[in-house]
Structure 1
Amino acid sequence: MPKRPGEMELAENCLSQDAWLSFIGHIQTPFKSREMCPRNGRGTDEVAYIKLKPEFLPGVKSLETCSHVIVFYWMHHAMRTLIQQRPKFDTDIHGTFALRSPNRPNPIAISVVELLEIQPDGLKIRYIDCLDGTPLLDIKPYFPHTDAIPDAQVGWFDKATTPDPI
């Protein structure tokens, strides 16, 4: 992936393998290329499917009572060496950890999705922003009283030169 002017990459060999993760399934979406993906999950009304490996299906017990869940997934096509980036919608450079870009040392993404239906092999959802076939890391219930902070701020985004509404 080409870098934008002013972006910075990590030094070679600074990414170690410290953690052990297991993919519990994958996400099926209509997005076949990065260009097709929305910038964030709320940028699409497309229906998607979480396909769980059979051994993880018992883990959805009681999830049918939830209207929304948090989905953690691995952005497997991300560039993992960028440590400073320039978003398409801004002229300024920002540290990777100040952005939600998939390009990061550990490309773990999250989306709060609407749970439409529990299916025999997983979940039918809406509001996710990943490529078809994206590996799934975890699912957690969304608790509005715990997970929402309405007055939270991202100052640089509010001041972005060419803001792109979320």
Structure 2
Amino acid sequence: MNTPQLFSLEAIASIATPFKQKFAIPRQPNLANAQGVITFKEGFNDINMLKGIENYSHLWLLFIFHQNIERGWKNTVKAPRLGGNSTMGVLASRSTHRPNGIGMSVVKNKGVVSSNGQTKLVVEGVDLVNGTPLIDIKPYIAYADSVPSASDNLDSIKPIPNRDVLFSETIQQTLAEIEKKHRDFSALVTAVLSQDPRPAYKQKLDNDDKTYRVTLYDIDVGFQITDAVVKVTDLVHLG
């Protein structure tokens, strides 16, 4: 039996995003126009490492599922797109519980910012929890990375939910105040909640009187499902 090879990986950066918890994060990149700001760590905080990156509209982010590693992994996983009960092989899935805990996302490149000696890279369409460590960044090259003939059968099994989202009249003033600080807040909430982040077995319910909660930026968002519509019921500023 061959001895497994061991490799050492070092985070080169971390990313700040609106997603303060795993619940309700879009299951794939670019399903919401959430912005992320990448800050490079000591030893990698060199703007020369990003020379020429403006030539690419999109980038690959390689990262660590740092909140899941201690939970280990299994050879099969429950797949939300299969209803949450059916299983499939971990390597045939995008599960966050993987043998090496490495993930990848393709995001929009919004440019480099350098201030007071700190290099930052702004991206859009992120699906990463706030503080996720990045181990590499690579350019997305359309002629090589885009495969027009590629296919999967997930949509035929269970399409991604696309529910209407309404904001309660009672929170309009609070919403207006929040958008003075976070201009994309309404759009972000709508994009995230339209995908119905409830557990897969609950998504078939068009009426659900339970109030679910998700934190976006520094706002605790409460919502319910009524007559197949997601209704945002309250917005609470966190300390």
Q: TM-score range by the shorter chain?
A: 0.7 to 0.9
Structure 1 position 38, deviation (Å) = 1.1
> TM-score, structure 2 length as denominator?
0.58
> TM-score, structure 1 length as denominator?
0.82
What residue identity is the alignment partner of 2:50? V
- Give the distance between the partners of 2:122 and 2:67, measured in 1 at CA: 23
Q: How many residues align?
A: 149
**Is 2:103 the partner of 1:109?**
yes
- Give the distance between the partners of 2:24 and 2:14, measured in 1 at CA: 18
Which residue is equivalent to 1:132? 130
5+ residue gaps, structure 1, are 1-15
Aligned positions of 1:72-111 closer than 5 A: 72-78=62-68, 79-91=71-83, 92-111=86-105
> Residue 60 of structure 2: which of 61, 70, 87 is its match?
70
Which residue is equivalent to 2:39? 51
Deviating beyond 6 angstroms after TM superposition, the runs of 4 or more aligned structure 1 residues are: none
5+ residue gaps, structure 2, are 162-194, 196-239
Which residue is equivalent to 1:164? 160
Supply the RMSD in Å over aligned alpha carbons. 1.9
| CA distance 1:51–1:17, shift in 2 (3 Å) | farther
Structure 1 position 17, deviation (Å) = 7.2
**Is 2:10 the partner of 1:22?**
yes
- Give the distance between the partners of 1:125 and 1:87, measured in 2 at CA: 28
Greater per-residue helix proportion: 2
Q: Which has the higher contact order (CA 8 A, sep 6+)?
A: 1
Preserved contact between residue 77 and residue 89 of structure 2 (Cα < 8 Å): yes
Secondary structure of the 1:114 match is strand
